[in-house]
Each structure stands twice: as C-alpha cells, then as structure tokens.
Amino acid sequence: MPLWTGKESSMPVPSEMKFGHIGLYVTDLEKMLDFYTNLMQFRITDRGSAMRSGAELVFLSRDPEEHHQIVLATGRPDGNVSPVNQISFRVENIEQVRAAYDAAVEFGVEGITPINHGSALSVYFPDPEGNRMEVYMATPWYIAQPHAKPLDFSQSNEEILKVTEDKCRADPTFKPMDQWKAEFPSVA
C-alpha cells in the first residue's frame, strides 16, 4: 500500500520488475571514473553531454546484457552530502567478498568496514565522493535484521562461514533461507 495516498493501487507495477541502474551526480568526474573503472572494474559503454542540462554523462557497466548499470553525471555541488545510503553489489561467494576487501585495501580506500549480517557477509567502503559501496554474498541462513557484527578477515573463509552458521543457528529468529523465501509474500 503506498504511504503517500493511503490507497491500494489498482494498477501496481509489474511483479517481474527488477532494478536496472542508478545515476549519480558527481563533483569530480575523473576521480569517480578512476574508482569505478579501476577498483570496481566497470567499463565505459558511452560518454556524452545531456541535451538539456549540458551535464557530462558517463555510462558504465560490468554486464554486456546491461548497456549501463551506473551513470555518472556532472553537476553535484562541492560539499554536497550524498543522499545515497549504499550501492550494493552481490557476489557468489566469500572468496569474492574477500577479493573486494583486498582490492579496496590495495586501492588505498579509507573507511573499509567488513560486516557479518548473518544472512549476508559484506564489505562496505566509500567511493571518492562518499557514496557507500557494499560488496556482499548471501548466506543460506536467515536471522532478523538489522544485525551487524564485525567480519574478521584474519580468519580463513571456512572459519568465517562456520562462525557465521553457528551464530545464526544460535539466534532465536534463525531459519534456513529457503524456508524464509518460501514464506515470502507473493508480489503477483
């Protein structure tokens, strides 16, 4: 039910709708391009100027099925705080989360925060203009959120997964993620 009208829509959005891309206003386009192309491994798919505003636009993607997943647009005023809570990227396994952590450290990113959510293992870090990035993997365990404990990369991947599973199973809200998914209300 939309909060802004108090009415149920007679024409809801299609249940098949999936997130497509995000556009970010930026202050320093070249610094942001360095971050997104070198650390995050996005590729520039197009570049040009917006007809109406004249803003420079750079289209970025990591997926050949998506022309762009991120659009960087000039025009963000200096000192303007980002309204973005986080931009999250899902990976398949703990090795890839660790690789993102290691790459951010090697890239010299400050403010890297590895977090164990129980149902996800994440590493958070800011881009050059303060937009918070998250690289995460989903675990097969559900526990109620929010849940945030430090993720200790001094442990082996196997130790991290074992500690996470044990903590999840000890939580009173625990259930296998497959069970949680089966109980998820249909959007159709």
pLDDT in tens, 58-93: 999 998 888 899 999 998 888 888 878 889 999 999
How far is Cα 57 from Cα 74, in angstroms, rounded to an integer?
7
Q: Are 32 and 39 in contact (CB under 8 A)?
A: no
The predicted model scores a pTM of 0.79
Domain ranges for the chain, please list them. 21-78, 81-188
Instruction: State CA 109 to chain mean position distance.
Output: 16
Residue given tokens 């050949």 in the structure block:
64
Instruction: Evaluate whether 21-78 and 81-188 have a shared fold.
Output: no
Is pLDDT above 60 for 6? no
The domain over range 81-188 is classified in CATH as 3.40.50.1980: no
Mean pLDDT in residue range 95-119: 95
Q: Which of 101, 103, 35, 94 is nearest to 70 (CA)?
A: 35
How far is Cα 85 from Cα 8, in angstroms, rounded to an integer?
28
Is pLDDT above 60 for 1? no
Give the pLDDT confidence of 142-188 residue by residue, as tens digits.
999 999 999 999 999 999 999 999 999 999 999 999 999 888 776 55
Q: Are 93 and 121 in contact (CB under 8 A)?
A: no
Domain 21-78 fold is 2,3-Dihydroxybiphenyl 1,2-Dioxygenase; domain 1 (3.10.180)
Is pLDDT above 70 for 15? no
The H-or-E segment that residue 99 falls in is helix 94-107
Residue 60: beta bridge partners?
A: 44, 70
Query: In terms of DSSP bridges, do strands 22-26 and 70-74 run parallel, antiparallel, or are they unpaired?
Result: parallel
